[in-house]
Amino acid sequence: MCGRTACTLAPDELRRACTYRNRRGQRRQPRWREGDAEKYKPSYNKSPQSMSPVLLSQRHFDKNAPVDENVLASMRWGLIPSWFKANDPSKMQYSTSNCRSENILEKKSYKDPLLKGQRCVILADGFYEWQKAEKGKQPFFIFFPQTKSSCQEKGEDQDETVSPAGINETSEVEGEAPAEWDGWRLLTMAGVFDCWTPPDGGEPLYSYSVITVDASPNLQSIHNRMPAILDGEEEVKKWLDFGEVKSLDALKLLQSKNILSFHPVSSIVNNSRNNSPECLQAVDLGSKKVPKPTASSKAMMSWLSSSSPSKRKEPDTRDEERDKKPGTQRKSEEALQRWLQGASKKPKTGSL
């Protein structure tokens, strides 16, 4: 299953992280669907019913768009079928945050969108999963392994016009290929989506479900299910190309992949209102202190700690659609580093 994720990139960083090649081999950055960049709020601790970033074909919104054009959109986590009769999506009687790949064609809520080609890719830094333990459950953060080319650490002599990920801060120019993304490699999970319009009228709501498969061998000790991972640009392209790749062929992409990294994290993530870098930080299960980091964990910490607050949008400390609560605020790179080292946090004064 997948019941909690993290996605901390700012809207413009998400565009760069999703750079793809079109059918002519040209590199392109997907644009945000109009108004959706504002609906997305970066977060270290996203739960169902929040708005999350997804990648999909532009042809779902514009039938005249090129077949290979992708677009970013913000969608509600937890699919609301187009045929849902109530006027309030919170009145759904069952959970649709996940759908099992093996019976996706047996349930109308998922079968209809799938056969219509309504496939999307859910984007996240990674997801959380809970392992049953003697005393309660132990949370883990699970993510793509990070290579040396990703999450590059800023050098002291690096020009100030370079972003935290090591990319020149230049806008996409017509005819000019966007720069390679050297930041955090986003986890790309297969999903299906639908569009529901309130029976009494109102703005259409786009929502999605994460497709799950049996857990890979290295994750079975944590949980018996995992999201269906799309590994690499080619798999993402095939999943999104609903015109060329038919539904039954697309389902063949949904396999357990033994490729993810993970580490245990603090139980602070158990409460979805907690939203800070501490949610992602690796802990030692014996001492609860920061352990010697693995290569991927070190890459993740380097990416977070080298990110300049002036150039990255601070994740909103509010969990969308939940009560307002005091949060935490990143004041500087040094303050963020103290977060990652488990230092005490200072709550904001006043309400958010």
pLDDT for 59? 95
Which residues are known to be catalytic? 2, 129
Strand stretches in 70-204, DSSP E: 70-77, 98-100, 119-124, 126-132, 137-143, 187-196
**DSSP 8-state assignment for residue 44:** E
pLDDT band at 352 (very low <50, low <70, confident <90, very high): very low
pLDDT band at 161 (very low <50, low <70, confident <90, very high): very low
Domain 5-340 fold is hypothetical protein yedk fold (3.90.1680)
pLDDT for 67? 85
pLDDT for 294? 57
Closest CA to 273 of 2, 1, 40, 4: 4
Tokens representing 203 are 């703005």
pLDDT band at 147 (very low <50, low <70, confident <90, very high): confident
Residue boundaries of the structural domains of the chain: 5-340
Measured between alpha carbons, how far is 333 from 350 in angstroms, rounded to an integer? 24
In tens, the pLDDT along 299-328 reads 665 655 555 333 444 454 444 443 333 333
In tens, the pLDDT along 218-235 reads 999 999 999 999 999 999
Measured between alpha carbons, how far is 246 from 232 in angstroms, rounded to an integer? 19
Measured between alpha carbons, how far is 192 from 206 in angstroms, rounded to an integer? 11
Phi, psi of 334 (to 5 degrees): -65, -40
